[in-house]
Amino acid sequence: MFVLRPIREDDLSGLVALARSISGGLTSLPPDEAFLGDRIDESLRSFSPRIKKAGGEVYLFVLEDTATGKLVGTSGIAARVGGYDPFYSYELRTEKHAHAPLAITRDISVLHLREQHRGPSEIGSLFLASEARRGGLGRLLSLGRFLFLGAYPKRFDATVIAELRGYIDQQGLSPFWEAVGRHFFGHDFYTADVLSGLGNKEFIADLMPRHPIYVPLLPLEVQAVIGKVHHDTQPALTLLQAEGFAATAEVDIFDAGPQLRVAAADIRTIRQSRTAEIRAHLGDKYEKPTHLLTNARLDFRACLGTVLVHDDGGVLIPEDAARALDLHPGDQVTFSPLRG
């Protein structure tokens, strides 16, 4: 059984091992024990019952194989970007340039640096170990956190965004970074991205270009990748689009990857979720999972399972799922279809 749950203090060694296994690294989870320890502490504070509204909290979840205790994945939600540190993005705007005597009209795309201090919620820190990429576990890891968001809407903003990894070429370079960022930072893309992931935002304000960037002045091959995702990120894009996320006019400041946005109440997993009383258990033998199930508590647990609705509106769920969620007949369970 695999369970999605909040990270705990005793998960540090498992989180470090998971971070070290990530090929190419994950900027929000670098294999740095001190930094990851701070991330755990930050998440523990975020889950405090005292939190009543969205600030700069960051909720970190892990996917655990309960048979071995091994951590095989992570996902997270930032309650509000810009809550504690400024949040930067490029906003793509269109300017109209015209000269009537010559009958010339041009629509020019321009990138404007945007700084937010009270932005929307953001999902991130998503990674699933290769051996666990099967049987709907990726959906549990990515979509299960939405059930926590749906259970505690006051802890989050009414809007949720996701920034996806931008296009990287066959040489491992970001064309957008090479054409723009490198000239101002003097470092390669990954160094700047890691610095930002470690929480160092001051260098962005100090070094980023202060004036708008006219897109037609960039090489054509760079213009073509603005708002495009890395090849490996395409499945994540497809999954989020199915959940109701749509592209915005904003892109990442480093690699020009797309920013997606959705109203939290419109996220499919939340919109199609139901809560009902458990009547009984199904036993441990059932067909492949059809639903995401959760206890919807601050001591959050989510797993995959099958749900059978009783005539009186109650439900039957697998016994192993009930154990994983620490639920018993008479308790409430929240569930949502694994696919729309």
Is 199 or 205 the better-scoring residue by pLDDT? 205
Place of tokens 């998960």: 11
**From CA 126, how far away is CA 24, in angstroms rounded?**
14
- Is the confidence at residue 276, as pLDDT, over 90? yes
The pair of structure tokens assigned to 277 is: 């009383």
Q: Provide the CATH number for the domain formed by 2-86+116-269 in this structure.
A: 3.40.630.30
pLDDT band at 190 (very low <50, low <70, confident <90, very high): confident
Span 294-328, pLDDT tens digits? 999 999 999 999 999 988 889 999 999 999 999 99
**From CA 106, how far away is CA 95, in angstroms rounded?**
8
- Is the confidence at residue 143, as pLDDT, over 70? yes
Span 244-271, pLDDT tens digits? 999 999 999 999 999 999 999 999 999 9
Span 207-222, pLDDT tens digits? 888 899 999 999 999 9
Report the pLDDT averaged over residues 6-10.
97
**From residue 43, how far is each of 5, 6, 74, 145 by CA, in Å?**
12, 8, 12, 14
For residue 25, the model assigns a pLDDT of 61
Q: Thinking of the domain 272-337, which architecture would CATH place it in?
A: Beta Barrel (2.40)
Q: Within the chain, which residue ranges are assigned CATH 2.40.40.20?
A: 272-337
* Average confidence score pLDDT of the chain: 92
The residues annotated with a catalytic role in the active site are: 230
Least confident stretch, 131-145, 173-187, 247-261: 173-187
Span 93-106, pLDDT tens digits? 999 999 999 999 99
Q: Within the chain, which residue ranges are assigned CATH 3.40.630.30?
A: 2-86+116-269
